[in-house]
Amino acid sequence: MRTRAADTAPPVRAPVLAQAGRITVAVAAVLLVALFTAVVLRHGRPFSPDLSLHRWSVAHRPGAARAAAAALTATGVGVVPYLLALVAGALTRRGARERALAAAAAMLTLLVVQLARFGLATAIGRGRPPAADWAVHASGFAFPSGHTVTSATAAGLLIWALCRHHGGRLRTVAVCLLALWAAAVGLTRIYLGVHWPTDVVGGWLLTVVLFGLAALVVPRLPAVRPRDREPRART
């Protein structure tokens, strides 16, 4: 009876989702290469949409909105992303030792991504918008945005851990909040005048590509294997 029920069950959505993920990563990679090439060919000069959005941001920054954006953008680096990475690693394992190792691996992953982003930004050497337009302090080269990559990577690690090892409405709420937080951090970099919009877009695309490569390289370790626990049927 179980065999017939399994045969008539609806097909698993995992292959469809995997195919959609591969297409998304491929499109992001193409867009990322195109954007990188355009920035390099223009020697870092901003594009027309960059200038338009930058001028709008500078002209629409009342005190309360500016303070809120500054507070939010501060969470994009430092303690908060590493705390999220730590939680992501801890959620993927059971046992104190395994959780500690997984948390360390997740935080190391975030550090490696940050170093890769820094090397890429140094190699491209794109300048930031005029310092007179900055609402917060900034340093280093602009493309791709460091806050954007860091927040998106930290959120992505925790989203991956939640989707792979947990379920329910609470997971859905948490995933939505993490995605909104990462997106908002990137947008604050534009609003505060310290990044061109294409810096932020480049950061998002880079993060998507890195996660896609990680999915191909890192072995997939399922969190729950119910079939392994069931006794094998006798032939």
Residue 23 burial by Cβ neighbours in a 10 Å radius (0-12, 13-18, 19+): exposed
List Cβ neighbours of 232 (8 Å cut-off, separation of 6 or more): none
Residue 13 belongs to a domain:
no
pLDDT, tens only, 120-160: 999 999 999 999 999 999 999 999 999 999 999 999 999 99
As a whole number, the mean pLDDT across the chain is: 86
Question: Could you give the CA distance from residue 22 to residue 201 in angstroms, rounded to a whole number?
Answer: 19
Residue 119 belongs to a domain:
yes
Q: Are 164 and 134 in contact (CB under 8 A)?
A: no
Residue 227 belongs to a domain:
no
Neighbours of 218 (CB within 10 A): 10
CATH number (domain holding residue 136): 1.20.144
Domain range for residue 168? 18-221
Residue 191 belongs to a domain:
yes
Confidence of residue 96 (pLDDT cuts 50, 70, 90): confident
Confidence of residue 17 (pLDDT cuts 50, 70, 90): low
Question: Could you give the CA distance from residue 119 to residue 130 in angstroms, rounded to a whole number?
Answer: 23
Residue 11 belongs to a domain:
no
Question: What are the φ/ψ torsions at residue 194 (nearest 5 degrees)?
Answer: -100, -5
Residue 232 belongs to a domain:
no
Number of structural domains (the chain) is 1
**pLDDT at residue 196 above 80?**
yes
Confidence of residue 16 (pLDDT cuts 50, 70, 90): low
pTM, to two decimals:
0.84
Residue 235 belongs to a domain:
no
For residues 78-83, give the mean pLDDT. Answer: 95
Residue 12 belongs to a domain:
no
Q: Are 161 and 92 in contact (CB under 8 A)?
A: yes
